[in-house]
Amino acid sequence: MEQLADEFFHDLRQELLAGAEANSAFQLSEFMETVTRDLIETGFVEGFELCHFRAQRGMRVDGYWFDDEGGLDLFIADFDCRAELESLTRTDVDAAFKRLASFFEAAIAKDLYNELEITSPEYGLARQIADRKGLIRRLNLILVSERAVSDRVQILEDAVIAGVPAGFHVWDISRLQRQRGSKGQKEPLDLDFPEMFGAGVSCLPAHLGSEAYRSYLVVMPAEILADLYGRYGGRLLEQNVRSFLQARAKVNKGIRTTILNEPQMFFAYNNGITATAQEVDVRPTTGGGLEIARIKDLQIVNGGQTTASLFHTRRQDKASLKSIFVQMKLSVIDSAESETVVPRISEYANTQNRVNAADFFSNHPFHIRMEEFSRRLWAPAQQGAQRETKWFYERARGQYADAQAKLTPADQRRFKAENPKPQMFAKTDLAKFENVWDDHPRWVNLGAQKNFARFAGRIGKEWSDSPDTFNEFYFRRAIGRAIIFRATERMVSDQSWYSGGYRANIVAYAIAALGEVCRQESKSIDYSLIWNNQAVPDGLLSALAVAAKFVNDDITNPPPGISNVSEWAKRDACWTRMKEKLGELEAMLPPSFWSELVSSDEVKAEKKDARKVQKLDNGINHQMRVVEVGGGGWGRILREGTNLRIFTPQELSLLRLASLIPAKLPNEKQSADLVAILEKAAREGIAPK
Lowest mean pLDDT among 301-305, 472-476, 646-650: 301-305
585: closest CA among 527, 670, 515, 523? 515
Chain mean pLDDT for the chain:
86
Would you call 142 helix, strand, or coil by DSSP?
strand
**432-449 as b/e: b if 16+ CB within 10 A:** bbbbbbebbbbbbbbbbb
C-alpha triplet 509, 366, 442: angle, nearest 5°: 15
For residue 438, name the pLDDT band (cuts at 50, 70, 90): very high
pLDDT tens column, 551-599? 999 999 999 888 889 999 999 999 999 999 999 999 999 999 999 999 9
Q: Kindly list the distances between the CA atom of residue 628 and the CA atoms of 590, 670, 679, in Å, as whole numbers in the listed order.
A: 55, 15, 15
- What pLDDT is attached to residue 3? 58
Give the rounded percent of residues in the chain with a pLDDT score beyond 70: 90
- What pLDDT is attached to residue 104? 96
Please say if the pLDDT value at position 377 is more than 70.
Answer: yes
Give the rounded percent of residues in the chain with a pLDDT score beyond 90: 45
**255-294 as b/e: b if 16+ CB within 10 A:** bbebbeeebeebbeebebbbbbbbebeeeeeeeeebbbbb
pLDDT tens column, 171-217? 999 888 887 776 545 667 889 999 999 999 999 988 765 555 788 99
Please say if the pLDDT value at position 514 is more than 90.
Answer: yes
For residue 352, name the pLDDT band (cuts at 50, 70, 90): very low
- What pLDDT is attached to residue 358? 35
Between the ranges 120-129, 382-391, 609-618, where is the mean pLDDT highest? 120-129
For residue 241, name the pLDDT band (cuts at 50, 70, 90): low
Q: What is the DSSP string of 246-265?
A: HTS-S--HHHHHHHHH-GGG
**What is the spatial distance between Cα 80 and Cα 166, in angstroms, rounded to a whole number?**
27
Average pLDDT over residues 408-429: 91
Please say if the pLDDT value at position 248 is more than 80.
Answer: no
Instruction: Specify the CATH architecture of the domain 2-181.
Output: 3-Layer(aba) Sandwich (3.40)
DSSP code of residue 498: -
**What is the spatial distance between Cα 572 and Cα 567, in angstroms, rounded to a whole number?**
11
For residue 666, name the pLDDT band (cuts at 50, 70, 90): confident
Q: Are 395 and 362 in contact (CB under 8 A)?
A: yes
DSSP code of residue 164: E
Asked if residue 343 has a cis previous peptide bond (ω within 30° of 0), the answer is no
- What pLDDT is attached to residue 158? 86
pLDDT tens column, 62-114? 999 998 778 899 999 999 988 899 999 999 999 999 999 999 999 998 889 99
For residue 351, name the pLDDT band (cuts at 50, 70, 90): very low
4: closest CA among 138, 174, 163? 174
- What pLDDT is attached to residue 585? 96
Q: Show me where the domains of the chain are located.
A: 2-181, 190-354, 377-596, 613-683
For residue 301, name the pLDDT band (cuts at 50, 70, 90): confident
The set of residues, in sequence order, having a beta carbon less than 8 Å from that of 28 and lying 6+ positions away, is 52, 62, 77, 79
- What pLDDT is attached to residue 247? 43
Handedness of CA 600, 606, 612, 617 (dihedral sign): negative
307: closest CA among 290, 317, 321, 292? 321
Q: Are 457 and 356 in contact (CB under 8 A)?
A: yes
- What pLDDT is attached to residue 249? 44
Amino acid at 357: A
- What pLDDT is attached to residue 338? 56
Q: Are 453 and 359 in contact (CB under 8 A)?
A: yes
**What is the spatial distance between Cα 373 and Cα 377, in angstroms, rounded to a whole number?**
6
The two counts, helices (H) then strands (E), for the chain are 29, 20
Lowest mean pLDDT among 47-56, 132-141, 245-254, 385-394: 245-254
- What pLDDT is attached to residue 142? 95
More confident residue, 290 or 350: 290
- What pLDDT is attached to residue 211? 55
For residue 276, name the pLDDT band (cuts at 50, 70, 90): confident
Average pLDDT over residues 426-444: 93
Please say if the pLDDT value at position 608 is more than 60.
Answer: yes
SS percent in the chain: helix, strand, coil, step 5: 55, 15, 30
Amino acid at 613: V
